[in-house]
């Protein structure tokens, strides 16, 4: 009985620490996709299929199955993969190449850690415009509120990962329950939407729409943002709580996306699909749902912050970064840490990005770019490790995953704007 309670507690902590980012993707993913895609039943089913199988292949298979099976001292991340790989390589040139790839991965992770809080907090505060009395709130007020929340978020980091995850966990549990129930209620009106579980529908969508269908992948990848945090945060909570929590979160996300698909088919002119769906289902609960969504999107940045601490900690241990003061915030798990220097430097750059871009939509391309590049570097390292360990079946599967990651990256490159390059440069400095 005690073990069951402990396990449930760990899963709730994982929801608060790790899944804030990927758990809030239903707020904007379908809305962004259908800003540029015609709403038809076939298109909705096809896009839903792409989203579901992106979650399966990139998050479940690439990260929870393959990446999280490779650890060192219970920790995960790009640096851990490089340490494992170095012991298998015989050529100094190969060591140098993969070390360079690792440094690029670290840079992208740092850039992602800057972009994630900026875009998640901005999008949360911009949601205030959905309330009638705040419809005309000026952008300057949005920025001020965003900056206040940003400073508060980084100020509580010194309390430690465990304390923060305990506080954030229950909020995310409420959020996921709301997502699951709202999606289920919508799906009950059109069970046929479950045909989206068939991957052939996603492939048909791309084949039927040609280049424009392929380019939709640049928006579809938004459903998987935060996947890299699963692996990077493994040292904070351990492997099992994160994996168990993901299976629950995955079911909720699929149900909600399917529900949004049903609502969109019945309301093709909807501009903010998730909030419009909740409004139509239970108008009296709309404001509470909006408040929980605001809290959830703020929490979304926590996964990347704690992930950054893990990366910096590993970088210090491997002499990639200089020594910084490290505070150990848990008596049970040594990898639960707080690094003040990294925390405050990250906050400064998050504030700089918020002030520079002012709107969350202007950060979307950079967000997708950093995420897909991280995916590609991670799977390259993983596939090489499996090949050198002569685990050829796993190697072949990771090669397939590499092709999928490359497809997403190609779609992102074809649509990326000049401003996005600047955002990545600013974030990764």
pLDDT in tens, 258-287: 999 999 999 998 877 888 898 888 878 888
Residue 401 pLDDT > 90: yes
Q: Choose the weakest-confidence range: 1-5, 33-37, 292-296.
A: 1-5
Which helix H or strand E contains 110, and what residues bound it?
Answer: helix 92-126
> What pLDDT, in 10s, does the model give residues 185-202?
999 999 999 999 999 999
Question: How confident is the model over 319-355, as pLDDT tens digits?
Answer: 766 677 776 665 555 556 677 777 888 888 888 888 8
Taking only the tens place, the pLDDT of each residue in 358-398 is: 776 667 666 777 788 888 999 999 999 999 999 999 999 99
Q: How confident is residue 127, by pLDDT bands cut at 50, 70 and 90?
A: low
Q: How far apart are CA 142 and CA 126, in angstroms?
A: 7
The tokens describing 274, both together, are 């998730």
Distance CA 116, CA 352 (A): 13
Question: Residue 131 has what pLDDT?
Answer: 66
- Cβ neighbors of 214 (< 8 A, separation 6 or more) are 206, 407, 411
pLDDT score recorded for residue 273: 87
Task: Give the residue with greater pLDDT, 338 vs 175.
Answer: 175
Contact between 303 and 227 (Cβ < 8 Å): no
Q: Averaged over 207-214, what is the pLDDT?
A: 89
- Which tens digits make up the pLDDT trace of 31-47? 888 887 899 999 999 99
Report whether pLDDT(89) > 60. yes
Q: What is the pLDDT of residues 90-115, one digit of tens each?
A: 888 888 898 888 888 887 877 777 87
User: Left (φ > 0), alpha (ψ -120 to 50) or beta: where does 6 sit?
Assistant: alpha
């Amino acid at each position: 009985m005690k073990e069951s309670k402990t396990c449930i507690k760990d899963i709730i902590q994982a929801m608060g620490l790790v899944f804030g980012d990927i758990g809030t993707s239903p707020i904007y993913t379908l809305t962004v996709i259908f800003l540029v895609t015609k709403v038809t039943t076939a298109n909705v089913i096809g896009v839903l299929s792409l989203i579901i199988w992106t979650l399966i292949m990139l998050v479940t298979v690439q990260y929870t199955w393959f990446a999280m099976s490779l650890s060192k001292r219970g920790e995960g991340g790009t640096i851990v993969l490089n340490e494992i790989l170095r012991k298998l390589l015989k050529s100094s040139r190969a060591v140098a190449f993969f070390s360079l790839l690792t440094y690029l991965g670290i840079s992208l992770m740092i850039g992602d850690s800057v972009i994630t809080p900026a875009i998640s907090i901005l999008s949360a505060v911009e949601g205030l415009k959905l309330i009638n009395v705040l419809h005309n709130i000026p952008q300057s007020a949005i920025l001020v509120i965003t900056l206040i929340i940003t400073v508060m978020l980084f100020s509580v980091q010194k309390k430690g990962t465990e304390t923060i995850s305990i506080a954030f966990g229950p909020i995310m549990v409420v959020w996921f329950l709301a997502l699951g129930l709202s999606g289920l209620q919508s799906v009950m009106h059109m069970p046929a939407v479950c045909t989206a579980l068939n991957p052939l529908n996603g492939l048909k969508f791309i084949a039927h729409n040609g280049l424009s269908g392929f380019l939709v992948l640049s928006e579809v990848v938004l459903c998987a943002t935060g996947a890299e945090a699963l692996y990077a945060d493994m040292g904070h909570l351990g492997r099992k709580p994160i994996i168990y929590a993901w299976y629950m979160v995955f079911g909720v996300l699929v149900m909600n996306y399917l529900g949004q698909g049903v609502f969109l088919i019945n309301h093709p002119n909807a501009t903010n699909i998730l909030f419009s769906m909740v409004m139509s289902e239970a108008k009296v609960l709309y404001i509470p749902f909006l408040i929980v969504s605001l809290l959830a999107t703020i929490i979304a940045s926590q996964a990347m912050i704690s992930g950054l601490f893990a990366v910096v900690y590993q970088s210090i241990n491997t002499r990639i970064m200089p020594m910084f003061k490290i505070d150990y915030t848990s008596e049970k798990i040594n990898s639960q840490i707080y690094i003040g220097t990294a925390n405050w430097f990250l906050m400064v750059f998050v504030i700089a990005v918020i002030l520079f871009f002012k709107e969350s939509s202007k950060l979307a391309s950079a967000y997708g770019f950093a995420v897909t590049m991280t995916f590609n570097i991670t799977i390259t390292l993983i596939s090489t490790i499996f090949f050198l360990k002569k685990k050829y079946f796993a190697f072949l599967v990771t090669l397939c995953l590499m092709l999928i990651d490359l497809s997403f990256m190609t779609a992102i490159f074809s649509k990326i704007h000049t401003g996005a390059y600047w955002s990545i440069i600013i974030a990764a400095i």
